[in-house]
Amino acid sequence: MRLEHTLQIRRELQKFPKEIREAFYKQAKFLKNNIRHPSLRAKKYNEVQNIWQARVTGDVRFYFRIEGDTYHLLNIRKHPK
């Protein structure tokens, strides 16, 4: 599988501290190799738009779409509790 970062996620990543960005890149690498990696807790977020959600940290999530052999990384944000 391949990863493709959208402009939106690149912009949003810059708003987070370095530690969160590093955690995101670590989790993205896990996603690339195994969507079922336990720390990701990946799940379908929006069935209609085919958007998935995965964990970066306890309170930060990233969102992606699967198209063919590519994960399109769409956005990252704090998880509303």
Domains recognised in the chain with CATH numbers: 2-78 (3.30.2310.20)
- pTM: predicted TM-score of the whole model, two decimal places: 0.93
Q: What's the rounded mean pLDDT across residues 12-20?
A: 97
> Could you tell me which of 20, 25, 33 has the C-alpha nearest to residue 5?
25
Alpha helices by DSSP H, 34-80: none
**What's the confidence (pLDDT) of residue 79?**
85
Question: Are the C-beta atoms of 76 and 60 separated by less than 8 Å?
Answer: yes
Task: Give CA–CA dist 35/25, Å, rounded.
Answer: 14
**More confident site: 80 or 29:** 29
Alpha helices by DSSP H, 1-76: 7-13, 18-33
**pLDDT digit string (tens) for 38-81?**
999 999 999 999 999 999 999 999 999 999 999 999 999 998 76
**What's the confidence (pLDDT) of residue 7?**
97
Confidence of residue 13 (pLDDT cuts 50, 70, 90): very high
